[in-house]
Structure formats: structure tokens, C-alpha cells
Structure 1
């Protein structure tokens, strides 16, 4: 496969990773629970973004473009792996002022949420992960190639399902 052309300083892979690397890691974590597989997926995503950068025309933000590439790569990864999802994400920064009990409760809620998100059907999982990243419904639609009403419907269904599962875990 040919290597991509050199990109401008504003769209080089280092810039993308510096500005959006944590988001890409969380996207990988939402698809893959086992650390080694998650790291492999993140590497696949990084290479896919690097290769796709020359095709970015600025129709959507770089953040949206990177998220779309990441989700597409993750879907390809799932299709290849065909395996169930499981435990925790790595991008967690505990509150230094919280007590050990508060840390444990926060970590448990976080693990419950991540596990519940991984149980969602793929279409719902995709919109929820991007919503948790702070994407607007319009940006989610751009990233996933969906109409705004489809995004809203998937988010609504996913929220109801997550609420049901999480209330059952409490």
C-alpha cells in the first residue's frame, strides 16, 4: 500500500495525536476490553488516521474526521475479531481530594458505565462514545455518515438502555 503524501503542519499525524490522541484511545477502549488488543486497535487507528490525512478536505473538523476514521477502523477490527467486550478504559484521572471510598465508588460507576456501553448494539455504541467525547449530534452525524434524526434516535434508545442496565447494577 502506498504511503500517504506529506501533509501540512496543521494536519500532520503528530498534531492529530497531540490534539485528539486521548479521544482515539477512548474510542479504541470502547471497542476492545483486553489491554493488548486495545493497544493493537489503537495502533491500527493511528495508522489509519495517518493514511487518511491526505484525503481530509476540511468538510468536517479534523476532530470529526479522526473520529470517523477511528470508528471505521474499529468496526473493521470487530468484524475480524468477532469477540465479546469487557472491562475498563485507561483515561481516568481520580480526584486527589476524594477519599478512598469515593475513589472506589467513582471507579465502580465508571466500570459499570463502560461495561454497559460495550453491551450496546454497535450503532448505538458509536453515537454514545462520540456523545461522551462531547460531539454534537451534527458532528456525530458527520463522523458516522448519519442523519441528525438517526443520531438522535440512537442516542435516545441507548440512553434508555444504559439507564435501565445501570439502575439494575445499583
Structure 2
């Protein structure tokens, strides 16, 4: 296999490994499934172009998230219309027993994703990364802000989400 073919296969493996992360980040920026697919393609292209600049100073997962969030923010700025909410990919939450539990869980997931989409981009980025299990330090590194700023953004986002979801702060 040629060098270019091996690089292509490695990149495809990287995309498969981080598909859930990229999909959830894209879903936090775009509700329309077709536009979300376009955004995922844009994220993959941006990642392809950015990977040679990764120097290993931060974890690869954080680098990928940063590239995806930057592309998502650019997408939001460029989009004039924002369609009503769509659901996240099926792996967003663990499955639950029974059809009633699954339906209830799906409704909560859709409501949460819609609420996250309504947040300002700076809060949305922090929340999406926190939901992915990033630590405050990793979020700070990924977004290029201080850990204290991450705490403030998450606190504000949590309050806004409670208000939007009707749960009180």
C-alpha cells in the first residue's frame, strides 16, 4: 500500500473512532439532518486540513473537538435560517428498558438538544464538551480560555438550560 493510501486509511479510522463525538458536536450546531450531514463533512475536511498542525501538546480528542467546534461556530455564523430541533444520534444516551422508558428518554434527549441549540455559541461549546466528559481543564484547553471561564460558562449554561426546560434554577 502506498503512503497516501495508508494515510487515508488512518484518517478514516480516526473518523470512525471519533464519529460519536463529531456527530454530537454537529448536532449541537445544526438541527436539520441534511445540513448536519454537510456540517459533518465540513468538520471532517477541516480536521483533515488541521491534523498536520497537531503537535501532541493536547490530547488528540481535545484537538478534534476544537476543530469541530470552530467549524460548528463558523457554520452557525454563516447560517441565516435555523430549523426547529432534531434529535441527536442514537448513541447520545444509554438505552433503557421498555418502549415507554425509551420514548420518555427520547423526549428528554430531544428537549435537551433543542435547549442546548438555543444557547449562545460560547455556552453551547462548553456544555457540549462537558456532556462529552471533558474536564474543565480540557474544555479550557480546547476552547482557548481559562478554567475559571469554563466554570462561569457552564454555570450560566446550566441556569439557562434549567430555565428553558422549565425546571427552575
Q: Which TM-score band applies after superposition, normalised by the shorter structure?
A: 0.7 to 0.9
Q: How far apart, in 1, do the equivalents of 2:111 and 2:163 lie?
A: 12
State the 1:164 CA deviation.
2.1
Is the Cα–Cα contact under 8 Å of residues 131 and 140 in structure 1 kept in the other structure?
Answer: yes
Is the Cα–Cα contact under 8 Å of residues 25 and 128 in structure 2 kept in the other structure?
Answer: yes
Q: How far apart, in 1, do the equivalents of 2:130 and 2:148 lie?
A: 14
Task: List gaps (5 residues or longer) in structure 2.
Answer: none
Does 2:118 correspond to 1:82? no
Q: Mean Cα displacement is larger for which, 38-47 or 69-78? A: 69-78
State how many pairs are aligned.
163
Task: List gaps (5 residues or longer) in structure 1.
Answer: none
Using the size of structure 2 for normalisation, the TM-score is 0.87
- Residue 98 of structure 1 corresponds to 97
- Residue 55 of structure 2 corresponds to 57
Q: How far apart, in 1, do the equivalents of 2:143 and 2:98 lie?
A: 40
Q: How far apart, in 1, do the equivalents of 2:31 and 2:125 lie?
A: 15
Moved over 4 A (4+): none
- Residue 119 of structure 2 corresponds to 120
Aligned alpha-carbon RMSD (Å): 2.3
Does 2:65 correspond to 1:67? yes
Using the size of structure 1 for normalisation, the TM-score is 0.87
Is the Cα–Cα contact under 8 Å of residues 47 and 68 in structure 2 kept in the other structure?
Answer: yes
